[in-house]
């Protein structure tokens, strides 16, 4: 933990076994609540940092149930099953006396050397230094990342009658830079703007309702990335009756696939 604003946003105070208390951060504020990536990362951290946790991160699912209000929130995390080489966790975030604001499950496991194979390649795009920083629309959390679109930058005021490209490839770096770890990687998995904005070329009401991330990197792999920019790729398959899917890849600059993520996004248009 450092005094980086992300680490401040990630601070969880222990409140008993499997119980933690956190506080929302204005540095990562979004339109009606915190940036979902920090919500996801806080829930994940409650399992990752638990003394009972065994194994490296493999899978995480976060369900965004309601917008968090500014202020304190509570997180509970319990190991649902511990096996010889895998462990499953269930987490929940609440605020005040209402129902859950987020639910989650996570899975950890041993990562032995095995046969390895990759069917995909990193997107062939211009490098971070050759691209211009994207100017966001002023929301707090978007200023905490240096986004450089190589492909598929959003058009906020395009012609909505002609579908925009749903695929984006972009370099992303924390601002200020921060060494990559699993908590930071979880936030990156939720960093892509809703594809509905790219498709429609205008702002519409939208929000991720569920996200699943799969981790293909070990702690050593993340340490090797350090605070260098990572390369993200995002696209969708279908937009239909109020929800669209979205899948993303997170690559290191030297071509390691660090994580893949999938989400379903609510929209009204």
Binding site for a copy of itself (CB under 8 A): 58-59, 61, 63, 65-66, 79-83, 86, 88, 90, 92, 98-101, 103-105, 107, 109-120, 163, 166-167, 199-200, 209-210, 212, 214, 216, 218, 235-243, 245, 247, 249, 257, 260, 262, 264, 266-269
CB 189 within 8 A of CB 213: yes
Chain mean position to CA 12 = 18
For residues 108 and 100, give the distance between their C-alpha atoms in angstroms, rounded to a whole number: 23
For residue 219, give the nearest of 111, 70, 135, 64 by alpha carbon: 111
- Please report how close the Cβ of residue 2 comes to a copy of itself at its closest, in angstroms: 28
Q: How far is the CB of 208 from a copy of itself (least distance, A)?
A: 10
Q: Which residue, 7 or 56, is less far from a copy of itself as judged by CB?
A: 56
Q: How far is the CB of 179 from a copy of itself (least distance, A)?
A: 22
Q: Which is nearer to a copy of itself, 131 or 265 (CB)?
A: 265
Nearer to a copy of itself, 142 or 168 (CB): 168
Task: For the CB of residue 85, give the shortest distance to a copy of itself in the complex, in Å.
Answer: 8
Find the angle CA(233)-CA(237)-CA(238) to the nearest 5 degrees: 135
Residue 215 near residue 170, CB atoms below 8 Å: no
Residue 14 or 96 having the CB closest to a copy of itself: 96
Query: Cβ–Cβ contacts within 10 Å for residue 263, how many?
Result: 26
Tokens standing for residue 145:
């990342």
CB of 238 to a copy of itself, least distance (A): 5
Residue placing its CB nearer to a copy of itself in the complex, 6 or 182: 182
8 Å CB contact between 22 and 75:
yes
Beta pairing partners, 107: 59, 88
């Amino acid at each position: 933990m450092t005094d980086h604003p992300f680490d401040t946003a990630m601070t969880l105070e222990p409140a008993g076994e499997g119980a933690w208390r956190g506080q929302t951060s204005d540095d990562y504020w979004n339109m009606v609540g915190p940036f979902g990536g920090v919500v996801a990362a806080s829930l994940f951290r409650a399992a990752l940092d638990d003394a009972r946790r065994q194994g490296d991160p493999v899978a995480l699912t976060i369900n965004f149930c309601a917008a968090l209000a500014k202020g304190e929130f509570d997180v509970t995390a319990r190991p649902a099953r511990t096996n010889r080489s895998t462990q499953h966790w269930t987490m929940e975030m609440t605020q005040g006396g209402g129902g859950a604001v987020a639910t989650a499950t996570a899975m950890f496991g041993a990562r032995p050397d095995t046969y390895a194979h990759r069917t995909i390649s990193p997107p062939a795009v211009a490098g971070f230094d050759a691209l211009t920083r994207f100017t966001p629309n002023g929301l707090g959390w978007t200023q905490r990342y240096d986004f450089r679109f190589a492909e598929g930058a959003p058009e906020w005021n395009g012609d909505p009658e002609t579908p925009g490209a749903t695929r984006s490839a972009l370099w992303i770096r924390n601002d200020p830079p921060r060494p990559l770890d699993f908590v930071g990687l979880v936030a990156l998995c939720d960093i892509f703007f809703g594809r509905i904005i790219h498709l429609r070329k205008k702002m519409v009401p939208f929000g991720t309702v569920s996200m699943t991330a799969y981790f293909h990197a070990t702690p050593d792999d993340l340490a090797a990335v350090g605070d260098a920019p990572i390369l993200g790729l995002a696209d969708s398959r279908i937009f239909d009756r109020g929800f669209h899917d979205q899948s993303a890849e997170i690559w290191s600059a030297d071509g390691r696939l660090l994580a893949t993520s999938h989400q379903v996004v609510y929209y009204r248009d």
